Structure 1
């Protein structure tokens, strides 16, 4: 994929909630749950496995800032944090991005983590 056509290589500056020199945090327009967003490396890296050590460390640093912000704004009861890497894993945009999803006890699917979907009988090989 060309970086010219990559949605995450040229984000709307007004959409950036938090940032550092290596990554940005944007909240999704139609969030999975309130406060949900993405941490996106500034450099085009197709998957999490392509991040440099510095990008990995700076993503972690930004994740800590994001958690502080979301804790203050929404007071979630937990979080799902995860990467999709490759088509089979559900990666739709081929620019590495970390999903940050606040979770709340009053959700219909509270207590169901990322692995819950994978462990369903219909997903067995």
Structure 2
């Protein structure tokens, strides 16, 4: 399977705060690519949740893992002025994050190492429960 081609079908989808945000993309990827049924917290904020809410989401998301344990489909919680989630994939020799960004208007694939340039900072890596 050529993972780049698989991910291309998601890149460019529009961000919609009411129906398709970063968490919706993460859930969709788990269902489509990994046959996992994930449910995000029902009370999660659909709009700019404060970074303090990260603590609440951690326990519901999954178990924390170390950077050297990452495998395709694991997720990264990202902190800025809002909570953000992305799905990790190893593509062309580098770890990348597929995420649906409000500020960028849709789904993008970025190198993990490039997130700080976008004012996004890694809060932690997780494997779904």
Q: Which of 1 and 2 has higher RCO (CA within 8 Å, sep 6+)?
A: 2
Give your verdict on TM over 0.5. Answer: no
Q: TM-score, normalised by structure 1?
A: 0.33
Structure (1 or 2) with the greater strand fraction: 2
